[in-house]
Copies of this chain bind each other. A is one copy, B any other.
Amino acid sequence: MKFNEKFSKATAGMGSSMIRELVATTKGIPGLISLAGGFPSPDSFNKEDIAECYKEVVLESGNDILQYGASEGDAQLKEELIKWEEYKNMSMDEMLITVGSTNAIYYYAKTFINPGDVILCEAPSFLGSLVSFEAEMAELISIEMDDEGINIEKLKQAIADCAQNGKKVKFLYTIPDFQNPTGISMSAQRRMDLVELMAEVNIPILEDNPYSELRYTGEMIPSIFKIAEEKNLRGLVTLVKSFSKILGPGLRVAYAVSSEEIIGKMCSWQQKVNVSPGCVTERMVARFMQKDLLVKQIGIVNDLYTPYWEAMLTALEDFMPKTVKWTKPEGGMFVWLTLPEGVDADELFVKAREQKVAFIPGSKFFPKGQEQHNCLRLNYSYAKPDAIREGVKRLASIM
């Protein structure tokens, strides 16, 4: 029996994942080099320690962690995270463990969005979050970026335009470190300017930060959350961090920190959506941290990816025509190429596939109707350094 006529408006309006479908067209092509996805390298997975931690916690604490757990998340894991991040004056009620970052972002979206509300984001931004906001029937307005991150003047203008048009802006979504898809990191000054502006206009910030631990050169920049903390603006920024790029996305463990007010509401959604994250896996990660394995693991991951990242940036220098510009990330997984005006990366994708190299056309990272087409994203966390170099060479040959 068919019931599509009974589906909710949000469900009826949902499309399939364009990126997934695009990547699917490259599957099974022998010798294809994929610079398309956003997968971490399996060589980064610490199978031995993770296997051992799982076994230990189930044997030792099975009575506790096989039972129903707190919707707020595992207390042991939260304790370790507060220590690790050196969060000051943070209570357990200001942190929520979730089933990956996307899950935290979804709860935040549910906490704020009524149909028709405006969410501000960077242009371009992470598609996975944008489709979540759209599924809650938000209107997305994307704001131009420069080398230092989101353009504050354009942001002010967008907020003013919304106010004039009677549109309700609920929050700003930003990925300040090694942004997906551009690789751009927001400068410290820009972060301070952003906090000042958003406090003034009373619009909260959702800071999505899955990549900041993947730094191959340069200095760490404090999170927007920490900058707001120094100004006693708890609640202005909700920070989401994930273990996906360090331990493995298959675990589905991330966390959010914010005010007790916002975390409490996100937790109410978790109760209704998942009851709690997987308690065994939460405790396994806590054990991994208790054994001081995390600092070592981050070192291993960064040592692994440094030659991947070098191979990417060197190959771009060596092979790309002068008319192509690209970002210069100091970490993360992605670099963003800007092609000459008029070149369409969606068309280039088809030609590149013939040359056995895949990327994601830039248009896929903008809200509908706000697309740019002369741009594309390359990944450097999955194909190995030699393949990255060869892939960039192939791509350059068709430019």
Chain A interface residues (CB < 8 Å from chain B): 1-4, 6-11, 14, 16-17, 39-40, 42, 45, 47-48, 50-52, 54-56, 58-59, 62-69, 99-100, 102-103, 106, 110-114, 117, 128, 131-132, 135, 168, 170-171, 199, 202, 204, 233-236, 244, 247-252, 259, 261-262, 265, 268-269, 271-281
Q: Give min CB distance, A86 to chain B, whole Å.
A: 22
Q: In the complex the two chains form, is B68's CB within 8 Å of A47's CB?
A: no
Residues in chain B near residue A102, CB distance under 8 A: 272-275
Residues in chain B near residue A234, CB distance under 8 A: 1
Q: In the complex the two chains form, is A14's CB within 8 Å of B268's CB?
A: yes
Q: In the complex the two chains form, is A110's CB within 8 Å of B11's CB?
A: yes
5 nearest CB pairs, A to B: A66-B248, A250-B279, A47-B62, A51-B58, A54-B54
Partner of A249, one of B1, B17, B59, B67: B67
Q: In the complex the two chains form, is A42's CB within 8 Å of B58's CB?
A: no
A51-B59, A250-B278 given; 14 more Cβ-contact pairs under 8 Å: A3-B261, A6-B171, A8-B114, A8-B117, A10-B110, A11-B265, A42-B67, A45-B67, A48-B59, A50-B58, A51-B62, A65-B250, A132-B272, A252-B274
- Residue among A69, A102, A171 with max Cβ neighbours from chain B (10 Å): A102
Q: Give min CB distance, A186 to chain B, whole Å.
A: 20
| Bound-state Cα–Cα, A6 to B118, Å | 12
Q: In the complex the two chains form, is B250's CB within 8 Å of A69's CB?
A: yes
Residues in chain B near residue A7, CB distance under 8 A: 111-112, 265
Contact of A272 with B55 at beta-carbon distance under 8 Å, contacts A1-B234, A4-B261 already known = no
- Residue among A52, A63, A168, A235 with max Cβ neighbours from chain B (10 Å): A63
Q: In the complex the two chains form, is A16's CB within 8 Å of B268's CB?
A: yes
Residues in chain B near residue A252, CB distance under 8 A: 274-279
| Bound-state Cα–Cα, A180 to B102, Å | 31
Contact of A8 with B111 at beta-carbon distance under 8 Å, contacts A39-B68, A249-B68, A268-B16 already known = yes
Contact of A47 with B67 at beta-carbon distance under 8 Å, contacts A8-B111, A274-B100 already known = no
Q: Which residue of B lies closest to A50 (CB)?
A: B58
Q: In the complex the two chains form, is B66's CB within 8 Å of A50's CB?
A: yes
Residues in chain B near residue A66, CB distance under 8 A: 42, 45, 47, 50, 247-251
Contact of A1 with B233 at beta-carbon distance under 8 Å, contacts A7-B111, A50-B62 already known = yes
Residues in chain B near residue A262, CB distance under 8 A: 3
Q: Which residue of B lies closest to A45 (CB)?
A: B66
Q: In the complex the two chains form, is B62's CB within 8 Å of A236's CB?
A: no
Residues in chain B near residue A47, CB distance under 8 A: 58-59, 62-63, 66
Q: Which residue of B lies closest to A228 (CB)?
A: B1
Q: Which residue of B lies closest to A4 (CB)?
A: B261
Residues in chain B near residue A52, CB distance under 8 A: 55
Q: In the complex the two chains form, is A99's CB within 8 Å of B274's CB?
A: yes
Contact of A280 with B261 at beta-carbon distance under 8 Å, contacts A42-B66, A199-B1, A204-B1 already known = no
Partner of A106, one of B168, B204, B272: B272
Q: Give min CB distance, A278 to chain B, whole Å.
A: 4
